[in-house]
Structure 1
């Protein structure tokens, strides 16, 4: 496989995921979001079908494929109007971090559950004060006996109420130098000292966001991901690039959904004795949106291919893919709304709801501005701006 041509197996995966997602669709998703419920039925069925574990090694219950296959799953669910927002968190970040950097005990404890959908883990990184600035993370873990004691706060953590554990970024002391360093800890949300509160969000989403407080939370020795000698940059490389790739695929899937709805409406709706699609003022913006979306998809596919094949330049392409996918998807949704006119903002059209969803792509899991900073500094060689 190269990133221009998918194998028969990958093509079949697309068809299978699309078929499952199509049995649920946007109406199901919106109903769940309104009720404040999660798309648990979809998640569990996707786990039984092996879709959640496509990138997890076979020895831990997965399919043994790669991030390319995982981004297929993410894209096709979104393209059907049933986006699994939590997939880039649990399957992309947490699972890949444990696959590449976890201890054997941690792998056997968590990966089979990730693969079959029976276990979930969320990722907690942003502190209230630091935001995207990892150097200002205030959450801290200190050694106490054979274990750890964690204190601090995290904001906008996904699906804490549904997860078996959180993977938490915190500072600690290097065991050799004694200097501050960052590390990852696995923290079950039901431990004494952990509290969390749902944050009301101004978007239609079936996955909740939470603020979390850790008050002298005691963790066992194996609560530390990977052990004392694992550098955080390796952990982040393991998980954050796959997150960017699968979230980019999520974005392009929503863009596809919006364009498909708009094209159907433009084909069926007739005014002035011809269809809407016959007017260049409406057809050209849709065509341009389609072109930009396909360019973004190629970038996503290239990033996934680079990750799976261990090639250089992954960070650059993963960040570019995330940026391009967000730009293309947001424009696609915006133009889809315009095709519907005033009806575009009705719930029935579906595209107005998608616009509110995909707008998140400029903010999470990394902001548009930080992506541009990365390319400016690492690709163009410009002086650091912050």
Structure 2
């Protein structure tokens, strides 16, 4: 039998205390309103739990996936799961921490750790679900900016996010010699001109809405490319 380490016991106790104020009834009320659970999110941020996997030098806790899994499990146990925490503060934050420039890390990671900013993850498309190499959303370099065009589907919590981490093709599938290459990762401001959101009815009660997201000549600064152009599949 494995014995829980002190950090894991502390995480479970924290969630138990938070759930006394923001428990299942609160979560269901937010879901019925179609409103993001802001108060719960702020409690997680104030406690330092949104930044558990973010390096300490960028305001996080410097812990690992095991501790984050305990947090996610305990929140599910109390009926208050948040998918945006998984895609934003685990997946997106991890990619920025590992592959982002020094300036990008400093700009995005501390507010992510505090809960002051939120990220969603945009990969799936109408014709590219399980086979992500076939995505068609394109990003073409134009001076010091990339121009994004395309559509994403089933993207969680876009309306509650400040940024999207978008997977796009900088080399088309047909033009790529190695079909695993040509994908690039971008941080995109949700308020950027050319982004249109369409909520999707999923038939599931949840406070985080799913969206179709349309990009029409959305301009993204070159500085918001994560890592090298065309290497996104390796990073994912």
Tell me which interval the TM-score lies in, with the shorter structure as reference length: over 0.9
Which structure is higher in helix share?
1
Within 5 Å, which residues of 2 pair with 1:1-386?
4-173=2-171, 181-228=182-229, 231-236=231-236
Which structure is higher in strand share?
2
**TM-score when normalising by structure 1:** 0.57
Alpha-carbon deviation of 1:102?
A: 1.2
Q: Is the 8 A contact 2:184 2:228 kept in 1?
A: no
Aligned residues: 231
Q: Distance in 2 between matches of 1:172 and 1:181?
A: 5
Match of 1:246 in 2: none
Residues 41 and 92 (structure 1), Cα distance of their counterparts in 2 relative to 1, 3 Å cut: same
Q: Distance in 2 between matches of 1:199 and 1:88?
A: 20
Q: Deviations over 1:46-66 (max 9, x none)?
A: 100001111111111111111
Q: Is the 8 A contact 1:196 1:212 kept in 2?
A: yes
Q: Distance in 2 between matches of 1:9 and 1:94?
A: 23
Q: Distance in 1 between matches of 2:51 and 2:6?
A: 19
Q: Distance in 1 between matches of 2:224 and 2:30?
A: 33
Q: Is the 8 A contact 1:22 1:80 kept in 2?
A: no
Gaps of 5+ in 1: 237-386
Q: Distance in 2 between matches of 1:81 and 1:187?
A: 31
Q: Distance in 2 between matches of 1:7 and 1:178?
A: 47
Q: Which secondary structure state, in structure 1, belongs to the residue aligned with residue 206 of structure 2?
A: coil
Off by >6 Å, runs of 4+ in structure 1: none
Q: Distance in 2 between matches of 1:212 and 1:146?
A: 24
Bigger radius of gyration among the two: 1
**TM-score when normalising by structure 2:** 0.92
Q: Distance in 2 between matches of 1:22 and 1:81?
A: 12
Residues 32 and 22 (structure 1), Cα distance of their counterparts in 2 relative to 1, 3 Å cut: same
